[in-house]
């Protein structure tokens, strides 16, 4: 019987990433503090960022310098002359009823354009433009956007400096979108201009279209994990509509994290609806080649060069180096540990494997734990000198992350020291053989059964037995059994 297969409809994804310049002390156009997190609502505001009549914006010079460094890190062409525009729209989070940005319907004059980021072994995702703009305020819903009976507005964030990074539609899957965002976050953190660990510091709008369909925008997705989920849902929704012969309308949709679905937010505005025009209160910015080269010379080591150095300097695998440099804090933690530990390859395996797994399970960033490089090195040395087994080391690591106790104190307090008492382990080996006669018989010709018996001995000691000694005792006992 012939079953006709339906060809998979290709997907195109472009991202608009809004990155707060979190190292700035003040907002983009006024002197209000940009350190608004954990503050009472509407306490970091002034007449300028609230757009009161008669006020004038003053551009933050450091924001321009940070944006130029981002452009250089993304292999972009920095504009010699750039200016700001007013983007007019009426929404509760925009106190002035317009946003000062560097884009108009004709493309504007952004601070930089035509760059790229390499992902997945060298494939390029093109960056069309980088522009500076001000962040809107924050809307707070009681429940979801659809069910909330009230909407609260906090303007503390309004006016904070954003770098908007817009890609070409080169991304071909939700997974690839997450990988790109992780790489972008690492670049910004290595530059020291933005911290992806801070709530709301990186937000993303995603434009997605399926072959044969119309582009749909999904707004303000809060995390890399949610970007992948939102795009997976939207990709499935659009493919289903196309296969049913239904039309996909051009619209803006909202990602509902609770229900994990996209919902219609509004019919997509056309560019002319924003009534762009040059910002009359700000003069054009002239950027000299000397300024660009000065900033280029001041740039720190970036993820790709750091990855190569880690491989050369410490002899770690490419895979481990890539994972470490995906997160600046993790790479710095590794290097701080490696400065005091002689086996960096083993160290990288522990960090990339066990530590990252525990962070994921706990839903924590490294900085939110109590683990220090001294703790990590101390735990590994206890394994190296035979005080504890690797299995026990995993338990110790998890406890240290939560309590911040020294590893040797955890081992003593919980009685986790490795058992190397041969006479005691021989008695336990006898017990294992008595309780598992079939496995003993199988072990005379099957290596898997040998490993099972060793595992039973380790289980009796709750993983504390010296694994090498346990293996020797089981094999000696088998030889003695075979000789009878």
- Quick check: 260 and 229 in contact, CB under 8 A? yes
Name which of 61-65, 289-293, 333-337, 360-364 the model is least confident about. 360-364
* 291 plus 309 within the same structural domain: no
220, pLDDT greater than 70: yes
Domain-ending residue, one of 368, 384, 413: 413
CA distance linking residue 286 with residue 107, whole number of Å = 18
Buried b (16+ CB within 10 A) or exposed e, 20-35: bbbebebbbbbebebe
Residues 139-162, mean pLDDT to the nearest whole number: 89
In-domain check, residue 189: yes
How high is the pLDDT of residue 9? Answer: 74
Q: What is the pLDDT of residues 240-265, one digit of tens each?
A: 888 888 888 888 998 888 888 998 88
7 inside domain = no
Give the confidence band of 271 by pLDDT, cuts at 50, 70, 90.
Answer: low
Q: What is the pLDDT of residues 74-98, one digit of tens each?
A: 999 999 999 999 999 888 999 999 9
Q: What pTM, to 2 d.p., does this model score?
A: 0.83
Quickly count: other Cβ atoms within 10 Å of residue 327's Cβ: 22
Between 267 and 6, name the one with better pLDDT: 267
Q: How many CA atoms lie within 13 A of 444 on its CB side?
A: 11
Quick one: what percent of the chain has pLDDT higher than 90? 64
Do 59 and 17 lie in one domain? The reply is yes
> Stretch 334-348: mean pLDDT, rounded?
97
pLDDT band at 105 (very low <50, low <70, confident <90, very high): low
pLDDT top residue among 89 and 358: 358
pLDDT at 7 (0 to 100): 57
Do 352 and 289 lie in one domain? The reply is no
Residues 290 and 306 in one domain: no
6 occurs within a structural domain: no
Q: Are residues 41 and 157 part of one domain?
A: yes
Q: Which of 24-33, 201-210, 408-417 has the lowest mean pLDDT?
A: 408-417
User: Long-range contact list for 270-275, CB < 8 A, 24+ apart?
Assistant: 271/105, 272/105, 273/89, 274/87, 274/88, 274/89, 274/105, 275/86, 275/88
Domain containing residue 446:
422-482
DSSP line for 299-336: ----HHHHHHHHHHHH---HHHHHHHHTSHHHHHHHHH
Work out the pLDDT band at 268, boundaries 50, 70, 90.
Answer: low
Q: Which helix (H) or strand (E) holds 359?
A: helix 356-362
DSSP state, residue 235: H
Residue 4 placed within a domain: no
277 shares its domain with 255: yes
103 and 154 both lie in a single domain = yes
Structure tokens at 251: 């619209």
Structural domain contains residue 283:
yes
- Alpha-helical regions (H) of 133-253: 174-191, 224-243
| Mean pLDDT confidence for 134-138 | 95
Say if residue 208 is in the same domain as residue 333. Answer: no
d(CA 372, CA 375): 5
Per residue in 115-128, pLDDT tens?
999 998 789 999 99
Final residue belonging to a domain, choices 413, 431, 449: 413
Which of 295, 326, 358 terminates a domain? The answer is 295
Q: How many domains does the chain have?
A: 3
Q: Is residue 61 part of a domain?
A: yes
257, 386: one domain = no
How do residues 34-56 score in pLDDT, each as one tens digit?
999 999 999 999 999 999 999 99
Structure tokens, 237: 């929704």
pLDDT in tens, 414-448: 877 777 778 878 888 999 999 998 998 888 888 88
Residues 236 and 371 in one domain: no
Residues 60, 163, single domain; the answer is yes
Is residue 40 a contact partner of residue 47, using CB atoms and an 8 Å limit? no
Residue 82 in any domain: the answer is yes
319 and 217, same structural domain?
no
Q: Residue 432: which CATH number?
A: 1.10.10.410
């Amino acid at each position: 019987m012939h079953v006709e297969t339906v060809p998979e409809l290709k997907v195109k994804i472009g991202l608009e990433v809004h990155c707060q310049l979190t190292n700035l002390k003040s907002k983009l156009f006024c002197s209000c503090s940009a350190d608004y997190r954990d503050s009472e609502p509407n306490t970091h505001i002034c007449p300028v960022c609230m757009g009161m009549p008669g006020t004038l914006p003053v551009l933050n010079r450091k924001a321009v310098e940070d944006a130029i460094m981002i452009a250089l890190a993304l292999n972009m062409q920095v504009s010699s002359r750039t200016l700001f525009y007013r983007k007019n729209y009426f929404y509760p989070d925009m106190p002035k009823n317009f946003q000062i940005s560097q884009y108009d319907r004709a493309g504007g004059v952004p601070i930089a354009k035509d760059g790229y980021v390499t992902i997945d072994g060298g494939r390029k995702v093109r960056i069309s433009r980088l522009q500076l703009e001000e962040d809107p305020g924050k809307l707070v819903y009681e429940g979801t956007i659809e069910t909330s009976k009230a909407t609260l507005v906090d303007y503390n964030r309004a006016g904070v400096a954003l770098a908007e990074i817009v890609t070409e539609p080169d991304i071909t899957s939700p997974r690839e979108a997450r990988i790109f965002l992780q790489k972008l976050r690492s670049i910004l953190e290595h530059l020291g201009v933005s911290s992806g660990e801070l709530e709301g510091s990186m937000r993303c709008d995603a434009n997605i279209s399926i072959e044969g369909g119309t582009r749909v925008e999904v707004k303000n997705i809060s995390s890399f994990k949610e970007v992948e989920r939102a795009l997976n849902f939207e990709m499935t929704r659009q493919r289903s509509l196309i296969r049913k012969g239904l039309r996909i309308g051009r619209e803006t949709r909202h990602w509902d994290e609770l229900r994990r679905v996209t919902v219609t937010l509004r019919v997509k505005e056309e560019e002319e609806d924003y009534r762009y025009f040059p910002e009359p209160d700000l003069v054009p910015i002239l950027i000299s080649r000397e300024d660009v080269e000065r900033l280029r010379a001041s740039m720190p080591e970036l993820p790709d060069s750091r990855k190569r150095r880690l491989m050369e300097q410490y002899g770690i695998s490419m895979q481990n180096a890539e994972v470490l440099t995906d997160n600046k804090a993790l790479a710095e933690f590794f290097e701080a540990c490696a400065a005091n530990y002689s086996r960096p390859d083993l160290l990288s395996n522990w960090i990339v494997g066990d530590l990252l797994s525990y962070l994921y399970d706990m839903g924590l960033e490294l900085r939110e734990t109590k683990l220090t490089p001294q703790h990590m090195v101390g735990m590994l040395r206890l394994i190296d000198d035979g005080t504890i087994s690797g299995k026990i080391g995993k338990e110790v690591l998890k406890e240290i992350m939560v309590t911040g106790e020294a590893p040797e104190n955890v081992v003593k307090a919980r009685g986790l020291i490795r058992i190397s008492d041969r006479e005691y382990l021989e008695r336990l080996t006898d017990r294992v053989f008595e309780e598992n006669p079939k496995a003993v018989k199988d072990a005379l010709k099957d290596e898997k059964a040998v490993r099972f018996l060793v595992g039973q001995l380790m289980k009796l000691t709750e993983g504390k037995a010296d694994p090498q000694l346990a293996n020797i005792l089981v094999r000696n006992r088998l030889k003695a059994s075979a000789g009878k």
